[in-house]
């Protein structure tokens, strides 16, 4: 993969990471003990009536689902950034440890796919 493309994709990944973290910070706190793990707090309003309590429960449930989805995305973005930082060195002797290499078949992931989804782990054929 060309160095210019890798740098462009790295910049996209860094921007995605900031965006995801900012969104998570709006309703959750980062867990200092676990990487890429966030904790949504349940709204604790003592003066809430039954309707407000039901709304709080629904809001919390929605936030948990969003937190999980964003955590998975953040994990993929961080994994891609780690591969780039490793300089293309295979992990544990596997070619698929390189950035831009399909983790299933070991072939290069298409440039168009990486432009659209820079954290992609699989080529279009294997997806």
* Rounded mean pLDDT, 39-44: 73
DSSP string, 88-106: TPPBTTBGGGSTTB-TTT-
pTM of the model: 0.78
At 108, is the secondary structure helix, strand, or coil? strand
* Rounded mean pLDDT, 28-47: 77
At 39, is the secondary structure helix, strand, or coil? strand
The tokens describing 52, both together, are 């407000």
Beta-carbon count within 10 A of 67 CB: 18
Q: How far apart are CA 114 and CA 117, in angstroms?
A: 5
**Tens digits of residue pLDDT in 61-111:** 888 899 999 999 999 999 999 999 987 544 444 445 699 999 999 999 999
Q: How far apart are CA 41 and CA 74, in angstroms?
A: 19
What φ, ψ does residue 32 adopt, rounded to 5°? -70, -15
Q: What is the chain's mean pLDDT, rounded?
A: 85
In this prediction, residue 93 carries a pLDDT of: 45
């Amino acid at each position: 993969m060309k160095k210019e493309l890798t740098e462009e994709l790295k910049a996209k990944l860094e921007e995605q990471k900031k965006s995801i973290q900012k969104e998570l910070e709006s309703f959750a706190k980062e867990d200092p003990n676990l990487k890429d793990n966030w904790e949504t707090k349940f709204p604790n309003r003592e003066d809430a009536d039954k309707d407000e309590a039901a709304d709080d429960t629904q809001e919390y449930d929605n936030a948990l689902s969003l937190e999980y989805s964003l955590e998975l995305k953040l994990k993929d973005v961080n994994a891609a950034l780690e591969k780039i930082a490793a300089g293309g060195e295979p992990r544990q002797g596997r070619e698929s440890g390189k950035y831009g290499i399909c983790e299933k078949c070991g072939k290069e992931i298409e440039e168009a796919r990486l432009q659209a989804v820079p954290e992609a782990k699989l080529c279009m054929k294997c997806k």
